[in-house]
């Protein structure tokens, strides 16, 4: 059973809660938590500063920047010493006839180093974009886990209170039966209340497990010990929701979406690699100079210049150019797909967020008020004997289903906000 699926067990078991405070049932305890109450802002701050995946992605981006700097250098020069014409067999280096000091330097065709640096810089930019995407993914997961924890915590409190209510109903029903004040239908209240209590306890244990899982996941996302106990505030609508319902950013700021930004950087890399592949048609130079000392004391020098001829094996360079061009086409298609996907997800979630906000207003302004009124009348009527147990339980279940649904809607607003924030890169 999951909270987001809104399983029948959760609704059925929680539909016996009362609005007024009730004593905790013997043997039950409200979940104890240590430390200050957790807020969503604090969770996001911890994820940004302490999440291991975020820190690793940022470190890789910094590493890529270092590689971009290294790519701007020429090939390393060569320095060598040779001794020639010493007698054989043997290895008598002091009997050489000629000694040479050789200095060499490979010189790429002008512009090739710049193209290499541009490609490496584009790769570093993509790594930075991927680091931002990792951050947004981890923030999204943390926001979802936060709302899971809020819903689980609030619902678990309801289970504890409901157990106390069931005890009270059983006590009242047994008193009426002993004094002959109950009819045939009212005699069912005690066993019905006990069955409800047993079902509540079973479902509460399931919910406690869900709370534990959400708490462990949230701690992991914050870079903390998964077993650390967390306390969260009661469910409240997320702030800054109205700005997320504005879809104008899909036209003007869609490139800021992490998914689209990564696709853009990938296209930039492919374009830079294509330019590099085209530059492979251009020759490179090799310069070499030797200072020679002869055994008789004569000194000479030797200078050499070589040029590569890449177009001899033309099919190699031609194939690399064609491959690079196709990679550009593929990256362009991936970018278009990323934009379409972000637009689709954003439009659907904006509509879902607007729907949840309207539903929340209806519940707060109408449904919850009427449910509270019906509950008061049902409880007072059952206590006075003017309302039977079936009608009383129906009113209680209706009140609780409304309140539970309102809590789920509040959490849905938070989850939709998390999705839109991830899509926008906020």
Mean pLDDT by runs of 10 across the 426 residues of the chain is 38 36 34 61 90 92 86 84 77 76 86 86 89 92 90 77 67 68 63 75 83 90 88 70 75 86 91 87 85 81 85 82 91 92 90 88 85 74 69 72 81 88 85
DSSP letters along 198-229, please?
HHHHHHHHHHHHHHHHHHHHHHHHTTS-TT--
Q: Cα-flanking dihedrals φ and ψ of residue 82, to 5°? A: -125, 145
Q: Where are the domains of the chain?
A: 8-424
Say how many C-beta atoms besides its own lie within 10 A of residue 219's C-beta.
18
Residue in this structure with the two tokens 């251009």, named with its chain if needed: 282
Phi, psi dihedrals of residue 307, rounded to the nearest 5°: -130, 135
- Residue 319 has a CB neighbour count (10 Å cut-off) of 11
Nearest to 418 by CA among 208, 239, 287, 219: 239
What is 8-424's CATH number, 3.40.50.300, 1.10.3720.10, 1.20.1600.10, 2.40.340.10? 1.20.1600.10
Helix (H, G, I), strand (E, B) or coil at 401: helix
Token digits of residue 217:
């996941």
Where does residue 404 rank: exposed (0-12), middle (13-18), buried (19+ CB within 10 A)? buried
Task: Tell me how far the alpha carbon of residue 316 is from its chain's centroid.
Answer: 43
What is the model's pLDDT at position 221?
Answer: 92
């Amino acid at each position: 059973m999951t909270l987001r699926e809104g399983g029948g067990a959760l609704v059925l078991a929680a539909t016996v809660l009362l609005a007024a405070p009730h004593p905790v049932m013997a043997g039950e305890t409200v979940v104890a938590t240590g430390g200050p109450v957790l807020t969503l802002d604090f969770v996001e701050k911890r994820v940004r500063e302490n999440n291991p995946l975020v820190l690793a992605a940022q470190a890789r981006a910094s590493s890529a920047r270092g590689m971009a700097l290294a790519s701007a250098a020429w090939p390393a020069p060569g320095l060598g010493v040779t001794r020639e014409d010493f007698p054989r067999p043997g290895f008598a280096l002091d009997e050489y006839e000629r000694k040479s000091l050789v200095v060499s330097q490979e010189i790429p065709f002008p512009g090739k180093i710049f193209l290499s640096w541009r490609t490496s810089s584009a790769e570093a930019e993509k790594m930075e974009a991927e680091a931002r995407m990792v951050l947004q993914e981890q923030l999204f997961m943390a926001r979802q886990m936060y709302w899971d924890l809020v819903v689980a915590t609030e619902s678990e409190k309801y289970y504890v209170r409901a157990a106390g209510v069931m005890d009270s109903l059983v006590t009242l029903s047994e008193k009426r039966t002993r004094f002959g004040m109950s009819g045939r239908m009212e005699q069912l209240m005690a066993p019905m209340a006990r069955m409800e209590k047993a079902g509540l306890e079973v479902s509460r244990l399931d919910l406690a497990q869900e709370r534990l899982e959400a708490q462990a996941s949230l701690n992991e996302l914050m870079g903390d010990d998964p077993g650390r106990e967390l306390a969260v505030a009661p469910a409240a609508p997320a702030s800054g929701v109205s700005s997320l319902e504005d879809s104008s950013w899909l036209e003007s700021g869609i490139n800021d979406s992490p998914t689209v930004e990564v696709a853009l950087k990938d296209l930039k890399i492919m374009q830079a690699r294509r330019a590099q592949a085209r530059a492979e048609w251009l020759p490179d130079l090799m310069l070499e100079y030797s200072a020679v000392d002869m055994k008789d004391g004569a000194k000479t020098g030797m200078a050499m210049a070589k040029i590569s001829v890449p177009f001899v094996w033309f099919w190699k360079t031609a194939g690399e150019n064609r491959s690079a061009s196709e990679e550009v086409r593929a990256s362009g298609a991936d970018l278009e797909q990323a934009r379409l996907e972000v637009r689709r997800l954003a439009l659907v979630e904006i509509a879902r967020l607007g729907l949840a906000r309207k539903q929340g207003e209806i519940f707060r302004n109408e449904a919850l008020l009427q449910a509270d009124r019906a509950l008061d009348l049902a409880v007072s009527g059952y206590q006075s004997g003017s309302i039977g147990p079936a009608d009383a339980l129906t009113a209680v279940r209706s009140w609780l289903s409304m309140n539970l649904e309102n809590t789920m809607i509040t959490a849905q607003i938070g989850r939709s906000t998390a999705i839109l924030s991830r899509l926008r890169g906020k």
